[in-house]
Amino acid sequence: MAAPSRPAVTSEIPGPRPLPLIGNALSVPSGRTIQSLMRLTRRYGPILRLHSPAGDRYVVSGLDMIDDICDDSRFTKLVGGGQLVLRSRFPSAGLFTADTGDPLWRSAHDILLPSFGTRSMRGYLPQMIDIAQQLMLKWERTNPGEPVDVTADTTRLTLDTIALCGFGYRFNSFYRETNHPFIDAMLGVLAESQTRSRIPPALVRLRRGAERRFTRNLRLMTDTVGAILDERRSSGDPGDDLLGRMLTGTDKQGRSLPDDNIVSQCITFLVAGHETTSGLLSFTISYLIKNPEVVARAQEEVDRVLGTDPEVMPTAEQLGRLTYVTQILDETLRLWPTAPAFTRQPLADDTVGGYPMARGTGIVALTPMLHRLPEVWGPDAEEFDPDHFAPERRDALPPNAFKPFGSGQRACIGRQFAMQEAVLVLGMLLQRFEMIDHAGYTLRIREALTLKPEGLTVTLRPRSGRTPGATAPPPPVRAAAPATAPQAGGDRHGTPLLVLFGSNLGTAEDLAGRLVRDGADRGYAARTAPLDSATRALPTTGAVVIVSASYNGTPPDNAAAFCAWLRDTGTPDGAAAGVRFTVFGCGNRDWASTYQAVPTLIDDRLAALGGTRVHPRGEGDARGDFDGQYAAWTAGLWDHLAAALDLRGQAGAAGTTGPRLRLDYENLRASAPVVRSYRSVPATVRANRELTSGEADRSVRHLEIELPAGTTYGTGDHLGVLPRNDAALVRRVLARFGLDPATYVTVTATGAAPTHLPTGEPYPVLAVLAGCVELQDPASRAGLAAVAAHLPAGPDRDALEGLTGTDDASRARYREQIALPRRSLLDVLEAYPASTLPFAEFLDVLPPLRPRYYSISSAPEASPNPSVTVGVLEAPARSGDGVHHGVCSTQLRDSEPGGTVFVLVREPSIPFRPPENPHRPMIMIGAGTGMAPFRGFCEERMALYERGVPVAESLLVLGCRDPLHDLLYAGELRAFTDAGVARLLPAYSRMPGHPHRYVQHVLAAEAETVWKVLEQDAVVYVCGNANTMAPAVREALVTLYRDRSEGTADEGDAWLAALRAEGRYLEDIWGESAVPG
């Protein structure tokens, strides 16, 4: 997108006069950086220039300039200052310190984003309350007149909250006399990072004592997180929190996060996830003790919404109704955003406020001054007044006027987490205490990576009338739908009702499911589907209800094609004629510039294309009373639908009788929820052969898969295979529960949460066990507790219950007896035959079956059927009982030609495919089955060569154990070499006398060859283990660069980072836990 047309400003950008050698360092002293920039902004205006030996930086606060740099099509995040120092000391960048072009940033963002949606926030609330109660208890036990250190206690609170919610770990900060060592180490690291960002590298090297402390503190932080990681892994239960998602989650291409990145992400969340929120709460209290009228108004709201009984814990719905409390927090963030600046850079030469800016120039958005603009906030912009965020005033704010959490796709991923925690804690404090300014506090700012008040203490007085046992007020009565005579279950008039959803985080999809159930109760033939499924296919019979979210103004993944069709200028007028529709949007007003962007687009464009709006568009704001807003929208929905469809006498009130849904199955597995959730399709095995010799100590299979019509693949794609549990495992389950193999079961979900099991009609028990659940995962503590609960009292029950506790001894027993030997729930049941655990409970505690992902090892130019290269997992069981067989690799090994497997094709999120220009060489580096995608790359180039197209010779750096036994596709490799498509540079780890054991040794020995190809604009591809091979390859390439450029280690890292940014260094790697089994 081009920069907006605006006359270039020819005057020089103002700023303080620089001094020789040090530039403007004295104008922005250490420890007062933000306050100094605010002072300079007041003097020089909305843009100023700062000089330093490292280059010029610009500081902006004018709204038009903020509008410019927040345009993601023109500007992106620039990591600098203390963040850059932090990143340089960790092997992998976290979400907040990574460059936007880093593939791991995108993978981590995709994996972690669902952890911060509305649904997840509700799940975190009990843990947030747990830690908040610890703060309340500490303050309740404070002696009268004894000051409390607000900043210290809120730091303890927020660290413990993110640790418990995110990682299931308790720092127990409120049970310590001194800080947890992690806090002191973190504070030391943050302070030193800020110092290092301001002084020359030569001076950094002279500060040897500071370097020793810095290294010691970093090691303590990484060791602490490493211990948390090890404990979770050894437990055998990955959990459903941030850490669990990082350990088990995959991005859209099936890639998981390597361990070093998980460690970096954990540290990032522990630092950023508590520093900013503790500062917010501390600043808020500093303002409340000076504004008693604000406190009185907030207490009135808290008492009305939460009640006066401090023993009744808040609900998520109640927190959504604390609107004035939220205004207080927003006003605090306006005046003192705890992350007070963010830095952007132009993607190309551009202008900011009319001033020319070169590509890559650092431009700092100084949000405390943006938030004080009188033209936006009024003449009292410098004053604390929560009514700056009264609903009507907030709605009138310009899109980029309030930016306390950053901007665009790099905005803080945890803002909803932080705000829920802050609203909860402030509400509980206001419910319980009067906070007294006993010392006449004057606000002083402590600056580190974030801002906090310095020296803030208050004394406390319990509020009168806090009565344990008093009931909280009921939620306000929502308007019911205008009455029609209730009819049991509604007349089954069968009018079609299609509920379409666009959802990445699950909230919109959950609402769609709720609407389908409500519609079925009113007699509609209701069904749900993703928005993309209705592209150019909206029905004109019945009605269409659409529920969608927005993500930084862009559609959810499953609504992108639908929205593109709506936006397409070629879409004919009348394309939606005859479609009766209504729209409900899910959003968050924190993203003011893009709030409800996609729902509004859908609503407006469907009407413009001839559709009939049968009910006004609704809006749900996750920062407010979302449930109340949804209830208000649905209050008139059903009557409006009935009127539009002429069903006033038929569409009755919701009833409770009759089936909600009827399904007719042809292929039972194809319709199972597990299969449908991954959109896997049945495919046919066409070939299956062994690739290693009989003397090899492992089996590697080559399989060719015929995809169904309409399913295609590209070179470099991944094939996900949804496996089936081995028949022997299934027979063991049947025997343990005394079930006949011919048994059918009907699963009825009695709770509100969806289930991964097929429900509503008889289903073969063999199919449930083989294709719906994981039978070999280590038994979870919940599973062990279920088995124990059905044992008679005695030593066996005591032994099992001794594995489920959270104390150190229980954890150690669980690790030794369950996690390390990987004993499954079935193993445990067989060891305790006296347990009467019902089959339903057994199924309920088992996790759903997961697909295993493989790099496709063919090219469509050479074969319409994709192939995969599968290492068969077969090893002695860690428990010592028999042999462990990988679920998926064993099934694929045993699959006969003509057999069916369920698969899905996924494109990589990075361009891990051959360059479009065949004259551009590749450097392909892989080991073992890591060569799979490179066979496809070479096949694509070979097909071009055979058609007479000149192709560049590429390097193929491959590792195996012995070329006589496990050099995969040896014959094809010779053909590629003979044709000049690729030059093979091998490494043989178990071949005596061979000079190179691993691929990194080849890169070092063939440095001249590799460098020559790199100078020809080659693209480097790496496929293999993220924990061993990938770091070794990076180190070898950096060393290669340094040897030829005589550069430093930092320059080598920067060179490799530049290759990444240019799309010339691409990794398709996996950690040990992600190796397909």
Cα–Cα distance, 347 to 101 (Å, whole number): 12
Cα–Cα distance, 1008 to 1045 (Å, whole number): 13
Query: How crowded is residue 578: how many other Cβ atoms within 10 Å of its Cβ?
Result: 12
DSSP H helices, 56-206, are 63-69, 81-88, 103-112, 118-140, 150-167, 181-196, 201-206
Cα–Cα distance, 684 to 978 (Å, whole number): 33
Q: What beta strand segments (E) does 338-403 contain?
A: 341-346, 350-352, 355-357, 363-366
The residue among 376, 346, 377 whose CA lies nearest residue 68 is 346
Cα–Cα distance, 15 to 765 (Å, whole number): 75
User: From residue 703, how far is each of 365, 686, 707, 857 by CA, in Å?
Assistant: 54, 7, 13, 10
Task: Give 83's Cβ-side CA count (13 Å radius).
Answer: 18
Cα–Cα distance, 450 to 460 (Å, whole number): 27
Under 8 Å between Cβ of 756 and 772 = yes
Query: CB-based contacts of 293: which residues, under 8 Å, 6+ apart?
Result: none
Burial class (CB in 10 A: 0-12, 13-18, 19+), 896: exposed
- Please give the torsion angle defined by the CA atoms of residues 616, 619, 625 and 627, in that order, rounded to the nearest 10 degrees: 70
Over the range 723-757, which residues count as b (16 or more CB within 10 Å of their CB) and which as e? Answer: bbbbeebbebbbebeeeeeebebebeeeeeeebbb
The residue among 174, 193, 175, 173 whose CA lies nearest residue 183 is 173
In three-state secondary structure terms, 854 is: strand
Cα–Cα distance, 940 to 916 (Å, whole number): 11
Which sequence positions are flagged as catalytic? 276, 405, 412
Cα–Cα distance, 280 to 274 (Å, whole number): 10
Residue 896 in tokens: 């006969």
Task: Give 59's Cβ-side CA count (13 Å radius).
Answer: 29
Placement of tokens 């033939």 in the chain: 525
CA angle 859, 861, 867 (to 5 degrees): 30
> Three-state secondary structure along 182-195?
HHHHHHHHHHHHHH
User: What's 93's DSSP letter?
Assistant: -
Give the β-pairing of 57-60 and 47-50: antiparallel
Cα–Cα distance, 708 to 149 (Å, whole number): 66
In three-state secondary structure terms, 417 is: helix
Over the range 851-875, which residues count as b (16 or more CB within 10 Å of their CB) and which as e? Answer: bbbbbbbbbbbbeebbbbbbbbbee
Share of the chain residues as helix, strand and coil, in percent rounded to the nearest 5: 45, 15, 40
Under 8 Å between Cβ of 125 and 424 = yes
For the chain, the distance separating the N- and C-terminal CA atoms, rounded to the nearest angstrom, is 45
> What are 792-800's contacts with CB under 8 Å, separation 24+?
792/834, 796/832, 796/834, 800/828, 800/832
Q: What is the CA radius of gyration of the chain?
A: 31
Task: Give 650's Cβ-side CA count (13 Å radius).
Answer: 16
